[in-house]
Amino acid sequence: MISLSHSIKRPVKGYTLFRVVILMMLLCCSHLSVSGQYFDMKDNRKHVTIPFQMIRDMIIIKLTINNKGPFNFILDTGVGLMLITDPKLVDSINIVNKRTLKISGIGEGDAYEAYVTSSLNIQIPGLVSYDVAAAILKTDHFGLSNFAGIPIHGLLGYEFFNNLAVKINFSDSTLSVSRPIDMRIFRKGNKIPITVEDRKPYIKTRIVFPDGSKAEDKLILDLGAGHSLSLENVINKNGLPEKFIAANLGVGLTGPVNGFLSRVKELDIGKFKLKNVITSFPEGEQFKSLAVKRDGNLGIGILKRFNVIIDYPDSVIYLQQGINFKTPFEHDMSGLEYYASGTDFNRVIISRVEPGSPADMIGLEKDDEILMINLKPVMKMTLEQIDNIFKSQNDRSLLLEIYHDNRRDDVILTLKRRI
């Protein structure tokens, strides 16, 4: 164990299975009346442009709460209730009226506690909030700041989308927000119906598996899921594709969620066909208890290949092929999971090494620190740049400088495409 990392919690592996956390929280909070919580245009504006940061496949916007901030929030259609993940905000935003609830969910471990607030004043430039409340975790169990490499304070979902149309331009990192009647629709976009159930959007898709079998699946349209596609409760029914790897898919509300990674031959959304899509297959039947019957989850790994308009009031989305539409789907080829630590999030600590992976074969271990990649200090790189290196090219060799057992070591890591 390296002493520099002893005080750092292991964060969620990606943001992917944090979905489980939010979905189970919503079941526990289902008695709350949130239908009247929404945003609207300020001062009779017709259009508002909001910049965002795209970090490790998360859309992050800035907002203020009760005239405090700004705070960094992940924009997430998989969230039906605004969630504050940084417990310190309880004091800094002057929350007076709050009550406690217990949250239990998927995984092994004890239930968590959270506060539920009264209405907050959520300020996003050009928009005004109405009766928006939030749940606040009493303890930050998920380490989203460490995963992102910047402070993350919470997640914003249904309230942001339920009254407005939101256009997402991934090429210039902007949101264009308006009332649906004022939204400028793509000239060559494909209009696709959705349903909004239990405060989350669902879309019908067609999936072709490697053996040629097909399925019509109902999926959550989930901006907050870092993966491309996740198919639930299918292993016992249909088995796995021939080629797959075991994987830690993330962390549920009370523990890890394990499963497998593989590919489907084709995913059809409206008129668009995507080939050889990397797909998560969670193990077990833990999703059967969810309020809305579904087959899985369509994440940002797919959505970022388009320009997107999400229109809850009219129950539609519009997709326009983006510049990255034909980019091949690739997964990490190192076997490493890692997170940012330190006051400036400029140190990179290994949180897990996949057994049998290239990183495991050369002896890298949990709690090792990555200092340099190909002679470039990681403190001069973003986590997303590191992610891209580790899934860049099959058989590519990388020179890593590692801090291990209180000494520096140089190792050669050769990337291998595992699926």
Please choose, from the candidates 246, 268, 250, the residue with its C-alpha nearest in 3D space to the C-alpha of residue 259. 246
The SS3 assignment for 282 reads: strand
pLDDT in tens, 184-221: 999 888 999 999 999 999 999 999 999 999 999 999 99
pLDDT at residue number 107: 44
Q: What angle do CA 80, 75, 115 make, to 5 degrees?
A: 50
pLDDT at residue number 6: 30
pLDDT at residue number 10: 41
pLDDT in tens, 249-263: 776 554 567 889 999
pLDDT at 44 over 50: yes
What share of the chain has pLDDT > 70, as a percent? Answer: 86
The larger pLDDT score, comparing residue 45 to residue 112, is at: 45
pLDDT in tens, 370-386: 999 999 999 999 999 99
Measure the CA–CA gap between 50 and 226, rounded to whole angstroms: 21
- Region 229-239: mean pLDDT is 84
Cβ–Cβ < 8 Å for 373, 399? yes
Q: Where is 128: in which H helix or E strand? A: strand 127-130
- Region 313-338: mean pLDDT is 95
Residue in the block written with tokens 């999926």: 219
Measure the CA–CA gap between 147 and 164, rounded to whole angstroms: 30
Please choose, from the candidates 229, 227, 225, the residue with its C-alpha nearest in 3D space to the C-alpha of residue 215. 229
Q: Which domains does the chain have, with CATH numbers?
A: 3-176 (2.40.70.10), 181-321 (2.40.70.10), 336-414 (2.30.42.10)
pLDDT at residue number 258: 80
pLDDT in tens, 154-188: 999 999 999 999 999 999 999 999 999 999 999 88
What is the DSSP pairing of strand 53-55 with strand 58-65?
Answer: antiparallel
pLDDT band at 25 (very low <50, low <70, confident <90, very high): very low
pLDDT at 319 over 90: yes
- Mean of pLDDT over the chain: 87
pLDDT at residue number 15: 44
Q: Is the pTM of this model over 0.85?
A: yes
Tokens representing 291 are 């309020």
CB-based contacts of 391: which residues, under 8 Å, 6+ apart?
330, 331, 332, 333, 334, 415
pLDDT at 242 over 70: yes
pLDDT band at 113 (very low <50, low <70, confident <90, very high): confident
Measure the CA–CA gap between 275 and 44, rounded to whole angstroms: 43
Handedness of CA 153, 300, 172, 393 (dihedral sign): positive
Measure the CA–CA gap between 321 and 308, rounded to whole angstroms: 9
